[in-house]
Amino acid sequence: MFLLRVRAAYPFFVCKNPFWGCFGISSNVHQLNDEIRDSEIRLIGSTGEQLGIMSAAKALEIADEQGLDLVKISPQANPPVCKLMDYGKFRFEQSKREKEARKNQHVVEIKEVRMSPGIDVGDFNTKLKNAQKFLSEGNRVKVSVRFRGREMAHTEIGRDLLLRFAEQTNELANLEKEPKMEGRSMSIFLSPKAGK
């Protein structure tokens, strides 16, 4: 096995085996400076003012004079739109914004609580406490009752159990749907109330 950097068409691809293809190790989102080969482009200055339509070579000269990068921001436009900017600073600020957005987002998971129709009071209360903990963390909860054997003839016991469970969590959660049979189990979904 050996690594080979392919420079011509794919500057950011590495081939493990040149006969089998390549895989990407990074993505170059914008075309920069010498990579822009269009005959004419629409140029926007670093402060956002329109500098007009000109050749890519002339725009590159202006970028060099100002010590900035020429970045193609809208390749589909006719002519393509390029902007003068400090690309390193732009990428740094963009990664900072993405990191901040990832830090602030909360992924809602679906937690599951399983019971049987003949569950006792102590076990029921334990399952209830677990579900309340999941709801207070902001997760959705799926509560299911599994029927085995002759219990399938008395599904109303499971329905009553699920409705009682939903009733006891109603200060923390909303019942999304009425109890629904899925094969040998009946389930409900509880979602946390907004602002809790």
Mean pLDDT, residues 121-148 taken together:
90
Class of domain 32-88: alpha beta
Mean pLDDT of all residues in 14-30: 51
**Can you give the pTM of this predicted structure?**
0.48
E strands present in 81-139: 81-85, 110-115
**37 and 75 Cβ atoms separated by less than 8 Å:** no
Quick one: residue 7, left, alpha or beta (phi over 0 = left, psi -120 to 50 = alpha)?
alpha
Q: Which CATH class is domain 110-192?
A: alpha beta
Q: At residue 166, what is the residue type?
A: A
Q: What are phi and psi of 131, to 5 degrees?
A: -65, -40
* Average pLDDT score over residue span 158-184: 87
Residue 26 has pLDDT above 80, yes or no: no
- The C-alpha atoms of residue 171 and residue 166 are separated, in whole angstroms, by 10
- What residue spans define the domains of the chain? 32-88, 110-192
Q: To the nearest whole percent, how much of the chain has pLDDT over 70?
A: 84
CA 80/CA 56 separation, integer angstroms? 10
Average pLDDT, integer, range 65-80: 83
